[in-house]
Amino acid sequence: MLDTHARKYVQPSIEKTASFFLKKNRTPDQITILALAAGITTSVFYVLGYPLIGVLFLWLSGYLDAVDGTMARHTKTSPFGTVMDITFDRIVEIGMIVAIAYIHPEVIWPLLLLSVSIIISMTIFLVVGAVSEQAGIKSFYYQAGLAERTEGFILFTIMLLFPDILVWSTLLFFAVELFTGIQRFAEAKRILQ
């Protein structure tokens, strides 16, 4: 939801960063890899006992993830770049879930539910993108929903920084993801039938 409705407020900064990297002859794929590295660093710092530094790397990863897409739209989008982007986003999320489970094994079941809800929501998102004839500014049809990347980062931030409410924040994230999957499924029925 925030990615769809609030992007216009941060887009000028993203554009400047994208222009900077393009002037330095960097490619969108290079920035995608940099975003992955920053995202994985989140989990490393969390496991090492530095959750605040981990959160900073999480948001850097998200910012770079937005920058690489803007760079691609200013040059030439690549289907493989899209595959990298979506795959690396999931690797970052999986890394955080595994890191949290490692530090807090008592929350393994809520984390498992969260993982299931992400899988369901992303499956619907990807299949609708693949079979839809509609196209947006991205390289495939982008289904908006209650939980987009920014909402996920907000909820992951809460999970990483506030272990006392980890069970509840994880279950909230699960519910938000599941609701988003239902939203996307209903939209798919509407636009694909």
pLDDT digits (tens, 9 = 90+) for 156-192: 999 999 999 999 999 999 999 999 999 989 988 888 8
Domain boundaries, the chain: 2-192
pLDDT digits (tens, 9 = 90+) for 55-80: 999 999 999 999 998 999 898 778 89
CA 193 remoteness from chain centre: 28
CATH 3.40.250.10 fits 2-192, yes or no: no
Angle between helices 51-74 and 79-103 (to 10 degrees): 170
User: What are the helix (H) ranges across the chain?
Assistant: 2-5, 7-23, 28-47, 51-74, 79-103, 108-131, 149-161, 166-192
Provide the whole-model pTM.
Answer: 0.87
State the average pLDDT for the chain.
Answer: 90
